[in-house]
Amino acid sequence: MSTAFGQSTVLGYPRIGANRELKKAVEAYWAGAIDATVLERTGATLRAEVWRTLRNARLDAIPSNTFSYYDHMLDTAVAVGAIPHRFARLGLSELDTYFAMARGVDAEPALELTKWFATNYHYLVPEIGPDTVFAPNPAKALREYGEARDLGVTTRPVLVGPATFLLLAKGDEPFARLDDLVDTYVGILASLAEAGVAWVQLDEPGYVADRSPAEIDALRRAYTRLGEATHRPRIFVATYFGDLGDALPALLATPVEAIGLDLVAGPGNLERLAAAGPLRGTTVVAGLVDGHNIWRTDLRAAVTAGATVAGLADHFAVSTSCSLLHVPVDLSVETRLDARLYERLAFARQKVDEVVLLGRALRDGTAHLPAPLPPAPAAWRNDDVRARLAALGPADRQRGGYGERAARQQERLRLPELPTTTIGSFPQTGELRRARAAHRAGTLDDAGYTARMRAEVEHVVRLQEQLGLDVLVHGEPERNDMVQYFGEQLDGFAATEHGWVQSYGSRCVRPPVIYGDVARPAPMTVEWSSYAQSLTGKPVKGMLTGPVTILAWSFVRDDQPLADTADQVALALRDECRDLEAAGIRVIQVDEPALRETLPLRAADHPAYLDWAVGAFRLATAGVADDTQIHTHLCYSEFGDVINAIDALDADVTSIEASRSKMEVLDDLAAIGYRRGVGPGVWDIHSPRVPSLDEVVEALRRAVAAVPARRLWVNPDCGLKTRAYPEVEASLRRLVAAAAEVRNR
Ligand code: GLN
Ligand code: ZN
């Protein structure tokens, strides 16, 4: 049995299959259309395909246990026996218990779902407390290892490491359970060794964020203990998404045999490594190929960085910066991309080739590397946009004073106290989706499509009038997705046909690619908003997606600062705002649900990020007159770290998810002296449940206690597109009634 790590590896590979086979199989299983045996057969086929692909690409260290029916954090919870009692007691099969934790069952809500670091992947949050009983359950890892071995492929099982697992868990002091959990990992490692496993990969990305000295010391102790275990495979601790900081020397002080560093998102790792002194045999696995973006690697630059690492370590290997889970499977199936863009892209399959090439080049020299890419085509440059950006000054991001604006807006809008509104989308019925699909396929012509969408807009407007809402929306029936919709209309964006990436469970997204300068050839939303406005005397909100969210949910060019790309998007939105205004739209909402989610992992990097993120939003919105009311909308997160930024956005009104957290965000806003309008969500739209009148009144009472009524808006937590009409009508009726009741007090 060889003990060398190998010279090339990847930290993980997409598991959904080239045609989203996993999504289809899992959903069929949930729907009762296939049984567990068929689902498991699909899983086995997909796993085998990945191993064969990696072997045929001549990657020499191949991971396993990176497959998952839902999520790898959930898999790790199962591997350490951390199945909360509330699920264990249901008495379901192993597989159904697993899915119950992931999706909930009638009586038992699912584990919480939250973002995996700064990616668009979401993991299930393990529930760990003082009474959690850990017990090693290496069955899945062993099964996958055995399956691969039967195919002639030796693999390295991957698990989330114990420290990160607990750092990401919730409950009563999960991290206090580290010693117990490490004992469980000792048991898992022993079983793996017993089965002949030579290397195991334990992922500890939790340490690229700010960690206390105690947490770093706990990491050192955990891996010292694991390293001292007598019966174990060699341990590879993988880290990714940034700089490891002080955790790097801590890990180097343990007996682990290999450490993985992200040299794409964490360039500081190189200096740390150099400062660490002689590495006494530790293998350094250098993450040189970006696993979080879709651009081809500059192989010559990567060889230079790799050579630096090789000079510091006795043993070293080339890898991806993180798991390839975050990029689409295979570029070669794309048939509609511009050839000049195509040649600059690399998806998971292509990135494996890059890793292999880099490994060879570092051994044999760069003579066999493919020719460097030609410079980006001149046509991707837009000199007008660049000139506009260069000419911007602070005044372009500054509106008049809020007090004056608020007065003028009220004069024009004449809204009651506690105005009611919604966040934008109304239910996306099957019929609407079919109409959009038919239009795309060419079976529904433009006129037919427009007529269909207008009918929907009219229906939504009439419904809102009937319900008595104060500020209306057009309902967004024409939008497949709030980013894709704009990507399809802006220059500098490309859409892929098959570029799916797992978002969570069976849910996949297909992010657009921002490859060139962004510009708006024509208005994007004016037609729909002004049609809606023509139907009613009440104000209709224009509805746009903000620059930060557009970037967060796209693959973004990496040849210029994100700030510049964000400002280009902002200029396009600024023009759209002006056009909406000219068309008689008096209220414009610019959604930024991703503002919090792309916040850097380390606090030291927050100011620079918030500076450009807020700056881009202001650039997008500051071009309108004072009496045009700008709204923004935030959701999906806790807002503590961005609370000042919310104020700095300078929107007239911010609607914000709040119902689950019982309006806490209002206290946070009050604490920083936030003085503008705010619409805390009073109806949790993530569930089909219709809130009772009392609940909404109670939520509003809490809100009125924290915010003066004249600044308070009444709205749901988020858009209604995933809901059905019956619950939407019933809930909105309650919402309007609750506002009236609280108003009359
Ligand atoms: N306007 C969007 C909608 O209502 C906002 C969605 C979001 O915040 N994610 O669907
Ligand atoms: Zn939202």
Q: What is the pLDDT of residue 686?
A: 83
Instruction: Check pocket membership of 425 for ligand 1, CB cut-off 6 A.
Output: yes
Question: Is residue 1 very low, low, confident or very high in pLDDT (cuts 50, 70, 90)?
Answer: very low
Would the CB of 633 count as within 6 Å of ligand 1? Answer: yes
Q: What is the 3-state secondary structure (H, E, C) of 498-559?
A: CCCEEEECCEEECCCEEEEEEECCCCCCHHHHHHHHHCCCCCEEEEEECHHHHHHCCEECCC
How many angstroms separate the CA atoms of 387 and 389, rounded? 5
Look at residue 680 and give its three-state secondary structure: strand
Q: Could you please report the per-residue DSSP string of 412-476? A: HH-PPSS-B---SB----HHHHHHHHHHHHTSS-HHHHHHHHHHHHHHHHHHHHHHT-SSB--B-
Tell me the per-residue pLDDT of 188-214, one tens digit each, with 9 for 90 and over.
999 999 999 999 999 999 999 999 999
What is the C-alpha to C-alpha distance for residues 319 and 271, in angstroms, rounded to an integer?
19
pLDDT digits (tens, 9 = 90+) for 679-733: 999 999 988 889 999 999 999 999 999 999 999 999 999 999 989 999 999 999 9
Q: Is 686 a residue of the active site? A: yes
| Cβ contacts of 193 within 8 Å, gap of 6 or more | 231, 232, 233
Q: Crossing angle of helices 664-671/693-706, nearest 10°?
A: 10
DSSP string for residues in 369-381: SPPPPPPPPGGG-
Cα 87 off chain centre by? 27
DSSP states of 139-203: HHHHHHHHHHHHTT--EEEEEE-HHHHHHT-BSS-GGGGHHHHHHHHHHHHHHHHHTT--EEEEE
Average pLDDT over residues 11-25: 97
> What digits encode the pLDDT tens for the residues 234-289?
999 999 999 999 999 999 999 999 999 999 999 999 999 999 887 878 999 999 99
Token pair in block for residue 212? 């206390």
- Average pLDDT on 665-688 reads 93
- Look at residues 257, 177, 265 and name the one whose alpha carbon lies nearest to residue 222: 177
Mean pLDDT rounded to a whole number for the chain: 96
Q: Determine the 3-state secondary structure of 103 from DSSP.
A: helix
Could you tell me the distance, in angstroms and rounded to a whole number, from the CA of residue 742 to the centre of ligand 2? 24
- Is the pLDDT at 164 greater than 50? The verdict is yes
What pLDDT does residue 277 have?
80
Tell the residue nearest (CA) to atom 8 of ligand 1: 593
Q: How far is CA 537 from the centre of its chain?
A: 39
Q: Of all helices (H) and strands (E), which one includes residue 355?
A: helix 348-364
The answer to whether the beta carbons of residues 659 and 718 sit under 8 Å apart is no
Give the residue among 328, 381, 596 at the shortest CA–CA distance from 491: 381
CA of 404 to the centre of ligand 1 (A): 29
* Average pLDDT over every residue of 584-601: 96
DSSP string of 190-219, one letter each residue? HHHHHTT--EEEEE-GGGGS---HHHHHHH
- Residue 236 has, within 13 A of its CA and on its CB side, a CA count of 32
Q: Ligand 1, closest atom to CA 634?
A: 8
Written as six digits, the tokens of 122 are: 């979401």
What is each CA distance from 250 to 276, 354, 391, 532, in whole angstroms?
10, 31, 48, 60
Catalytic residue among 459, 498, 606, 686: 686
Residue type, 233: P
pLDDT band at 457 (very low <50, low <70, confident <90, very high): very high
- The number of the ligand 1 atom at minimal distance from the alpha carbon of 589 is 1
pTM (predicted TM-score): 0.96
543 lines ligand 1 (CB under 6 A): yes
Percent of the chain predicted with pLDDT > 90: 93
Q: Which amino acid is at 535?
A: L
Average pLDDT over residues 7-31: 97
- Predicted confidence (pLDDT) at residue 339 exceeds the cutoff of 60: yes
Neighbours of ion ligand 2 (CB under 5 A): 593, 635, 718
Average pLDDT over residues 46-68: 98
CB 316 within 8 Å of CB 287 = no
Annotated binding site for Zn(2+): 633, 635, 657, 718
Which string of b and e fits 681-691 if b means at least 16 CB within 10 Å?
bbbbbeeeebb
Q: What is the DSSP letter of 588?
A: E
Cα–Cα distance, 740 to 745 (Å, whole number):
9
Return d(Cα 178, Cα 22) in angstroms, integer.
Answer: 33
Helix (H, G, I), strand (E, B) or coil at 350: helix
Q: Is the CB of 719 under 6 A from ligand 1?
A: yes
Alpha-carbon distance 380 to 500, whole Å? 24
pLDDT of residue 2: 54
Bridge partner list, 235? 200
Is residue 309's pLDDT more than 60? yes
Whether ligand 1 lies within 6 angstroms of the CB of 289 is answered as no
CA 744 to CA 706: how far, in whole Å? 18
Q: C-alpha dihedral over 242, 243, 249, 254, to 10 degrees?
A: 0
Q: Please state whether beta strands 283-289 and 258-262 pair in parallel, antiparallel, or not at all (unpaired).
A: parallel
Q: Enumerate domains of the chain plus CATH numbers.
A: 21-366 (3.20.20.210), 406-744 (3.20.20.210)
- 715, 422 in Cβ contact below 8 A? yes
Q: What backbone torsions phi and psi does residue 435 show, to the nearest 5 degrees? A: -65, -45
CA dist 736 and 17 (Å) reads 46
For the segment 473-488, the average pLDDT, to the nearest whole number, is: 96
Binding site listing for L-methionine: 423-425, 476, 591
Condensed to tens digits (0 to 9), the pLDDT of residues 373-386 reads 999 999 999 999 99
